[in-house]
Chain A
Amino acid sequence: MVTAEQVWNALAEIPDPEIPVISLVDLGVIRDVGVANGTVRVAFTPTFLGCPALEVMRDAMAERIRELGAEPEIEVLKDDSWSTDRITPEGREKLRVSGFAPPAPREASAPTLVQLQSNVFRCPYCGSTDTKLENIFGPTPCRSLRYCPSCRQPFEQFKTI
Chain B
Amino acid sequence: MNESEARSLLEIADDELILGWRDSEWTGIAPLLEEDVAFSSIAQNEIGHARALYELVAGEQGTTADELAFDRAPEEYRCTRLVELRLLDWEKTIARHYLYEQADAARLEQLKQSDDAEIAGLAAKIDREEAYHRMHAQMWFDRLKDEPRFTAALDALRPLLDAGRDEHSPELAELWVEMTMVRRSQPAGTAW
| Interface residues in chain A, defined as those with a beta carbon under 8 Å from any beta carbon in chain B | 48-52, 78-83, 110-113, 116, 134-141, 145, 159, 161
User: How far is it, in angstroms, between the C-alpha of A3 and the C-alpha of B109 when the chains are bound?
Assistant: 42
Contact with A along B103-139 (1 / 0, CB 8 A): 0000000000000011001101111110110111011
Q: How far is the CB of B30 from chain A (nearest CB, A)?
A: 11
User: How far is it, in angstroms, between the C-alpha of A148 and the C-alpha of B139 when the chains are bound?
Assistant: 21
User: How far is it, in angstroms, between the C-alpha of A82 and the C-alpha of B126 when the chains are bound?
Assistant: 12
> How many residues from B make CB contacts under 8 Å with A?
33
Kindly list chain B residues whose C-beta atoms are within 8 Å of the C-beta of A135: 34, 37-38
Interface centre among B37, B41, B127, B139 (most CB of A within 10 A): B41
Q: CB within 8 A of A113: which of B37, B45, B138?
A: B138
- Smallest Cβ-Cβ distance to B134: which chain A residue: A110
Q: How far is the CB of B108 from chain A (nearest CB, A)?
A: 11
30 A-B contacts (beta carbon < 8 Å): A49-B45, A49-B49, A49-B51, A50-B47, A50-B49, A52-B44, A78-B56, A79-B118, A79-B124, A79-B125, A80-B124, A80-B125, A80-B128, A111-B132, A113-B138, A134-B34, A135-B38, A136-B132, A137-B34, A137-B37, A137-B132, A138-B37, A138-B41, A139-B37, A141-B45, A141-B48, A145-B37, A159-B132, A161-B128, A161-B129
- Smallest Cβ-Cβ distance to B122: which chain A residue: A78
The verdict on B46 contacting chain A, using a C-beta distance below 8 Å, is yes
Q: Do A78 and B45 have beta carbons less than 8 Å apart?
A: no
Interface centre among A49, A159, A161 (most CB of B within 10 A): A49
Interface centre among A116, A135, A145 (most CB of B within 10 A): A135
- Smallest Cβ-Cβ distance to A50: which chain B residue: B48
- Smallest Cβ-Cβ distance to B128: which chain A residue: A161
Q: How far is the CB of A116 from chain B (nearest CB, A)?
A: 7
Q: Which of B18-57 contact A (CB under 8 A)?
A: 34, 37-38, 40-42, 44-49, 51-52, 55-56
Contact with A along B152-180 (1 / 0, CB 8 A): 00000000000000000000000000000
> Which 8 pairs across A and B sit closest by C-beta, in order of nearness?
A50-B48, A79-B121, A110-B131, A80-B124, A49-B48, A137-B41, A137-B38, A50-B44
Q: Do A136 and B38 have beta carbons less than 8 Å apart?
A: yes
User: How far is it, in angstroms, between the C-alpha of A111 and the C-alpha of B134 when the chains are bound?
Assistant: 10
Kindly list chain B residues whose C-beta atoms are within 8 Å of the C-beta of A83: 128
User: How far is it, in angstroms, between the C-alpha of A112 and the C-alpha of B139 when the chains are bound?
Assistant: 11
